[in-house]
Amino acid sequence: SQQGEEDPQALSIQEGENATMNCSYKTSINNLQWYRQNSGRGLVHLILIRSNEREKHSGRLRVTLDTSKKSSSLLITASRAADTASYFCATEGANSGGSNYKLTFGKGTLLTVNP
Amino acid sequence: GAVVSQHPSWVICKSGTSVKIECRSLDFQATTMFWYRQFPKQSLMLMATSNEGSKATYEQGVEKDKFLINHASLTLSTLTVTSAHPEDSSFYICSAAKLWGGHGFSGNTIYFGEGSWLTVV
């Protein structure tokens, strides 16, 4: 079942602005991951944050995780037109150990960065 | 990063025929691969978990006899859509789990293929 819920569902900003997307989930997790998908293409892994981490950075990306609120945010700073894509959060459940590292995806946020 | 190759990228088949989609991990061994289905502007829906050397684990509501999964080696999983119908037309994406871990914590990074567009006419 899909437990992640991203908001907003769609976000349109101007180049250079920051974009913030949020994700909420329902069950205990091992980690939370953010992915990017260009239209009609596969997914690209952006960043993984473990359940014992609160914040992580990678280039222009900043991810936060609040396990008490079961939520995460993805911040893209100084956005570019090339950042236009759908962004999904995905959670690996705390009970999905062993050989079954199953991810549950949210519904995604469609980000449009206007030049 | 790791590379997962999916083939074919797109396929058109006639209603009633079967079509096979391959998913290969090119530079790592993947004991676990996943097959997803994605309708336009929607999220990924997990269909099944493919485990090397054993039967796939299907999600609720996914017909195992219609979507045959074979994970014959540590680098290859195949999805065969049997007796395809127009409603099976969709974007199918595979992923492979590359494990990382150390003391205390472990997890996986999932690498996705580029997806396969299936159109059943």
pLDDT in tens, B38-92: 988 888 999 999 888 888 999 999 999 999 999 888 899 999 999 999 999 999 9
* Chain B CB contacts of A43 below 8 Å: 44, 93, 95, 112
CB contact under 8 A, B107 and A105: no
Residue A99 has a pLDDT of 44
CB contact under 8 A, B44 and A43: yes
Q: Is B86 exposed, middle or buried (0-12, 13-18, 19+ CB in 10 A)?
A: exposed
* Chain A CB contacts of B44 below 8 Å: 43, 88, 105
Whether residue A59 is predicted with pLDDT greater than 60 in this model: the reply is: yes
Q: How many angstroms separate the CA atoms of A15 and A76, rounded?
A: 11
Q: Tokens for B26, please give them.
A: 């090119």
Region A51-65: what's the mean pLDDT?
A: 96
CB contact under 8 A, B34 and A103: yes
Whether residue A79 is predicted with pLDDT greater than 70 in this model: the reply is: yes
Residue A94 has a pLDDT of 73
Residue A102 has a pLDDT of 78
A14 vs A97, higher pLDDT = A14
Residue of chain B nearest A110, judged by CA positions: B41
CB contact under 8 A, A41 and B114: yes
- Please list, in sequence order, all residues whose beta carbon lies within 8 angstroms of the beta carbon of residue A105, skipping any fewer than 6 positions away: A2, A4, A35, A88, A89, A90, B43, B44, B46
CB contact under 8 A, A41 and B107: no
Region B103-121: what's the mean pLDDT?
A: 82
Residue A8 has a pLDDT of 83
Interface test with B, best of A34, A43, A50, A86 (most B CBs within 10 A): A43
* Any A CB within 8 A of B111 CB: yes
If you ran DSSP here, which 8-state letter would residue B106 be given?
Answer: E
Is residue A1 very low, low, confident or very high in pLDDT (cuts 50, 70, 90)?
A: very low
Is residue B108 very low, low, confident or very high in pLDDT (cuts 50, 70, 90)?
A: low
* Any B CB within 8 A of A44 CB: yes
Residue A71 has a pLDDT of 95
Mean pLDDT (chain B, rounded): 90
